[in-house]
Amino acid sequence: MINEGLPPSDIVAALAVPFGTKSVPGSVVESGIGSYDDSIGLSVDSSEQKVIAFFRAQLPADRWHLLSQGTASGATGYQIVSQHPGSNGYEWELGITVMPETFAATPSARTSAGAPSSAGGTTPFTLRLFEVTDSQ
Protein backbone atom coordinates (compact mmCIF):
# COMPACT_ATOMS: atom_id res chain seq x y z
CA MET A 1 0.00 0.00 0.00
CA ILE A 2 2.99 2.33 0.13
CA ASN A 3 4.19 3.79 -3.17
CA GLU A 4 6.30 6.76 -4.29
CA GLY A 5 6.63 8.11 -0.73
CA LEU A 6 2.90 8.07 -0.19
CA PRO A 7 1.47 7.96 2.33
CA PRO A 8 3.98 10.05 4.29
CA SER A 9 5.76 8.36 7.20
CA ASP A 10 3.70 10.18 9.86
CA ILE A 11 0.47 8.77 8.37
CA VAL A 12 1.97 5.27 8.16
CA ALA A 13 3.03 5.57 11.82
CA ALA A 14 -0.54 6.56 12.77
CA LEU A 15 -2.04 3.35 11.35
CA ALA A 16 -2.71 0.50 13.76
CA VAL A 17 -4.67 -2.74 13.56
CA PRO A 18 -5.64 -5.27 16.25
CA PHE A 19 -2.95 -7.77 17.29
CA GLY A 20 -3.10 -10.92 15.15
CA THR A 21 -4.54 -9.18 12.08
CA LYS A 22 -3.82 -10.93 8.79
CA SER A 23 -4.08 -9.54 5.28
CA VAL A 24 -6.44 -11.17 2.82
CA PRO A 25 -4.40 -12.30 -0.20
CA GLY A 26 -5.26 -10.40 -3.38
CA SER A 27 -7.34 -7.78 -1.56
CA VAL A 28 -5.24 -4.67 -2.21
CA VAL A 29 -7.11 -2.26 -4.47
CA GLU A 30 -5.45 0.81 -5.95
CA SER A 31 -8.38 3.04 -6.93
CA GLY A 32 -6.31 5.58 -8.84
CA ILE A 33 -8.50 8.44 -7.64
CA GLY A 34 -6.34 11.44 -6.79
CA SER A 35 -2.70 10.98 -5.88
CA TYR A 36 -3.30 8.12 -3.42
CA ASP A 37 -6.36 5.93 -2.80
CA ASP A 38 -5.72 2.34 -1.72
CA SER A 39 -7.63 -0.24 0.27
CA ILE A 40 -6.78 -3.62 1.77
CA GLY A 41 -8.85 -6.46 3.18
CA LEU A 42 -7.84 -7.80 6.59
CA SER A 43 -9.17 -10.25 9.17
CA VAL A 44 -8.58 -11.00 12.82
CA ASP A 45 -9.67 -13.79 15.14
CA SER A 46 -11.82 -11.57 17.36
CA SER A 47 -15.42 -10.48 17.71
CA GLU A 48 -16.90 -7.69 15.61
CA GLN A 49 -17.57 -5.70 18.80
CA LYS A 50 -13.93 -5.95 19.94
CA VAL A 51 -12.65 -4.83 16.54
CA ILE A 52 -14.98 -1.81 16.56
CA ALA A 53 -13.97 -0.99 20.16
CA PHE A 54 -10.29 -1.22 19.18
CA PHE A 55 -10.66 1.35 16.40
CA ARG A 56 -12.87 3.65 18.49
CA ALA A 57 -10.09 3.80 21.10
CA GLN A 58 -7.00 3.58 18.88
CA LEU A 59 -7.85 6.16 16.22
CA PRO A 60 -8.10 9.12 18.64
CA ALA A 61 -4.97 7.87 20.44
CA ASP A 62 -3.12 8.07 17.09
CA ARG A 63 -4.52 11.60 16.55
CA TRP A 64 -7.12 10.68 13.94
CA HIS A 65 -10.19 12.93 14.09
CA LEU A 66 -13.36 10.83 13.87
CA LEU A 67 -15.68 12.21 11.18
CA SER A 68 -18.40 9.57 11.32
CA GLN A 69 -19.17 6.11 12.63
CA GLY A 70 -22.07 3.72 12.50
CA THR A 71 -23.97 1.58 10.05
CA ALA A 72 -24.39 3.45 6.80
CA SER A 73 -27.76 3.19 5.11
CA GLY A 74 -27.77 0.45 2.50
CA ALA A 75 -24.32 -0.78 3.56
CA THR A 76 -23.22 -3.97 5.28
CA GLY A 77 -21.03 -3.67 8.33
CA TYR A 78 -19.98 -0.90 10.66
CA GLN A 79 -18.14 2.05 9.16
CA ILE A 80 -15.71 4.50 10.74
CA VAL A 81 -14.30 7.48 8.85
CA SER A 82 -11.48 9.56 10.31
CA GLN A 83 -9.07 12.25 9.16
CA HIS A 84 -5.44 13.08 9.98
CA PRO A 85 -3.21 15.92 8.73
CA GLY A 86 -0.13 14.66 6.90
CA SER A 87 3.36 16.07 6.90
CA ASN A 88 3.00 16.54 3.13
CA GLY A 89 0.45 19.33 3.69
CA TYR A 90 -2.63 17.28 2.80
CA GLU A 91 -5.37 15.77 4.92
CA TRP A 92 -5.63 11.99 4.87
CA GLU A 93 -8.86 10.05 5.35
CA LEU A 94 -9.09 6.53 6.67
CA GLY A 95 -12.26 4.55 6.12
CA ILE A 96 -12.72 1.33 8.05
CA THR A 97 -15.53 -1.10 7.33
CA VAL A 98 -15.91 -3.86 9.91
CA MET A 99 -17.97 -6.76 8.58
CA PRO A 100 -20.02 -9.17 10.69
CA GLU A 101 -18.07 -11.85 12.53
CA THR A 102 -17.99 -15.29 10.87
CA PHE A 103 -17.68 -18.69 12.52
CA ALA A 104 -16.07 -21.81 11.10
CA ALA A 105 -18.44 -24.70 10.54
CA THR A 106 -15.94 -27.46 11.19
CA PRO A 107 -16.13 -30.56 13.38
CA SER A 108 -13.33 -29.14 15.54
CA ALA A 109 -15.55 -26.16 16.37
CA ARG A 110 -17.98 -28.42 18.24
CA THR A 111 -18.15 -29.52 21.85
CA SER A 112 -18.11 -33.20 22.86
CA ALA A 113 -21.92 -33.11 22.85
CA GLY A 114 -21.90 -32.04 19.18
CA ALA A 115 -23.07 -28.47 19.82
CA PRO A 116 -21.13 -25.53 18.38
CA SER A 117 -18.35 -24.44 20.70
CA SER A 118 -18.22 -20.99 22.25
CA ALA A 119 -14.92 -20.28 20.49
CA GLY A 120 -14.81 -16.87 18.86
CA GLY A 121 -15.02 -16.20 15.19
CA THR A 122 -13.13 -14.19 12.65
CA THR A 123 -13.95 -10.60 11.81
CA PRO A 124 -13.08 -9.31 8.34
CA PHE A 125 -12.51 -5.60 7.86
CA THR A 126 -11.30 -3.24 5.16
CA LEU A 127 -9.03 -0.20 5.48
CA ARG A 128 -9.25 2.48 2.78
CA LEU A 129 -6.69 5.27 2.97
CA PHE A 130 -6.68 8.25 0.64
CA GLU A 131 -5.17 11.68 0.33
CA VAL A 132 -7.74 14.49 0.21
CA THR A 133 -6.80 16.79 -2.65
CA ASP A 134 -8.35 20.00 -3.96
CA SER A 135 -10.15 18.04 -6.69
CA GLN A 136 -12.08 15.88 -4.17
- Domain annotation for the chain: domains and CATH numbers: 9-104+118-132 (3.40.1000.10)
- The residues pairing with 80 across neighbouring beta strands, listed in sequence order, are 69, 96
Calpha distance 80→128 (Å, rounded): 10
pLDDT of 41 > 60? The answer is yes
Torsion of CA 53, 55, 59, 65, to 10 degrees: -90
What is the residue-averaged pLDDT of the chain?
Answer: 85
Tell me what percent of the chain is helix, strand and coil, each rounded to the nearest 5: 15, 35, 45
Picking from 9-13, 33-37, 97-101, which range would have the lowest pLDDT averaged per residue? 33-37
Q: How far is residue 98's CA from residue 110's CA, in Å, rounded to a whole number?
A: 26
Arithmetic mean of pLDDT, 15-33: 89
